Structures are given as C-alpha cells and as structure tokens.
Amino acid sequence: MPFTPPVECPICRETLALDRTLEDHLVGSHTQREVARRLAAVRERAEVRSVSD
C-alpha cells in the first residue's frame, strides 16, 4: 500500500488527520472570504510568474 503523506491546510498550516479531507476542513474551519482570498493570492502569483518568464 503506497504511503500518503498528511495534508496541510494552505490557509492555517494545520496538518489534517488522515481521515479528514482538505475540503471538509476548509468548509468547517474557514470562511468563504478566507478561502477566496487564498485562491486569489495563488492566482495572482501564478500570473506574475508567467509574465516574467
């Protein structure tokens, strides 16, 4: 059986229990605004990186 490393929340850096999904954690622990802010930040960094290449 392959080893699956634990998942870390990209917002709060909490390491999730092996039986918990990132989706469940995000819905239960973070507001929609926190998740949206994180997604926007990741997208902005990706756009800046691709322009500079």
- Give residue-wise pLDDT tens across range 13-42: 999 998 999 999 999 999 999 999 999 999
Q: Which two tokens stand for residue 30?
A: 């973070």
Q: How confident is the model at residue 49, as a pLDDT? A: 67
pTM given for the model: 0.72
Q: How confident is the model at residue 50, as a pLDDT? A: 59
Question: Within its chain, how far is the Cα of 52 from the centroid?
Answer: 24
Torsion sign (Cα): 9, 13, 18, 24: negative
Q: How confident is the model at residue 52, as a pLDDT? A: 55
